[in-house]
Amino acid sequence: MFKPLDPTDINITPFKVYKEFTLTEVDSGSGLYSFRAISSSARNFIKNTAAKKVYFSASFYEIPSWHMINQMYYRDTSNPFNNFGSNDDTQYRLLQPSASVISVPQQLYGERIKPKSIELKDDSTATTVTVVDDGHGNLYDSAYSSSFAAFASGGFLDADITKSTGSFVGNAFYEHGVLAVTNTGSRYVDIGSSTGTDGFSLKYNAQVTINEYEYTCIIGENEFTATTNISATYQKSGSMNLTGSDTWRSLPAGDALYKSGSYKTKYEQATDYEGFVTSASFSPYVTKVGLYNDFNELVAVGQLSMPIKNDPELSLGIVVRFDA
C-alpha cells in the first residue's frame, strides 16, 4: 500500500548546531597544528636547510607559510577579489614580518568556527595570555579588552593603518579554521610555539548545519483500510528449511544451533484473512509509516508511540520528522 507525497507536504528546515571543543598542542595527532611564519625572499629558499616544524609526515616551512597567509588573507585587503574573508571595516588586518599560525582541521570545526567563541590560552610567557575574538575576525588580549574596544571604535578603514594597535593580536578566519597571531610584541610573539606546561589550549565552538525533514502523510477516507499484519491471516503458518553456514542469521536471539525442528527463513502466509478482518466495521491500526524513494526503496521508518485507529470515515494526518 503506497501513496505518493505531494510536494507541499514536504518541508525542509535548516538550523545551526554547535559543539564546544578544547584542544591543546598535544592534539597534533588529530590535525591541530601550530607553526611560525617568517617573511623572507622565496628566491633564497632551500628546502633541505630551511627552518620548519614537523608534525608526523607534515612539514611547515616558515618562509612559505608566511607567503601562504599573506597571499590568502593580507596581500591586498582593499580588493575583495584578491584575498579571503571579510573586506568591510569591521576587521583589521596587518601582517608583520613574522607571525604564529594555529590551524584547526576541518573535521573538528565543521562549516566554520562560530564567531565570538574563541578562547586561546598560552603559557609561553611568565603569565598566561588569554586571546579571544570579537566576532568579526579580530583577535585581542582579553586582559586589555577596554583598550581593544577603543581601538576598534569607528571601524577600520584603509587610513586606520596608522592607528595604535593596542591589544590587537591577530585574526581568526572562521571558515578555514585558521588563527593568525600577527602582533610581534614580547607578550604574543611565541604564542603557540611552546609545549607542556608552557603550551597552549584552544577552546571554540564548531558549527554545522542540520536539516530537519518533515513529511506530512495524509490518509484520506477509505484509504489504507486493509492490514498487512500476519496475525490477521487465516491459520497463519509457514515453514522453511535452513541450510548452509548462515543458518544462525535466521534464528531468534538466544536460540542455539543444535536445536532440531523446522525453522522459517521465509514466511509463506495464507492468502485468506480471518473473518473479523472482512467485516465492514473493521478498522486497522497504524503502527509505522515508511518513506520510500523513487526506486521504491525504504529509506526511513516512523514509529508511532502508540497504535492509531484508521477510521475509514475520517482523514488521518501523520507527521514524520527527522534530522539529517
Q: What is the average pLDDT value for the chain, to the nearest integer?
A: 84
Nearest alpha-carbon partner for 208 in 14, 17, 12: 17
pLDDT of residue 166: 60
Boundaries of every domain in the chain = 13-210
**238 pLDDT exceeds 50?**
no
Sign, CA torsion 177/124/169/67? negative
Q: Which long-range contacts (CB under 8 A, 24 or more apart) does 125-130 make?
A: 125/186, 125/187, 125/190, 129/187, 129/188, 129/191
CA distance linking residue 233 with residue 61, whole number of Å: 74
Nearest alpha-carbon partner for 263 in 281, 242, 277: 242
**280 pLDDT exceeds 80?**
no
Average pLDDT (244-263) is 47
Average pLDDT (273-291) is 82
Average pLDDT (171-190) is 93
pLDDT of residue 235: 61
Please tell me the least confidently modeled range out of 71-80, 186-195, 276-285. Answer: 276-285
Residue type at position 205: N
pLDDT tier for residue 101 given thresholds of 50, 70 and 90: very high
pLDDT of residue 271: 56
Nearest alpha-carbon partner for 231 in 181, 176, 285: 285
Please tell me the least confidently modeled range out of 52-56, 255-259, 269-273. Answer: 255-259
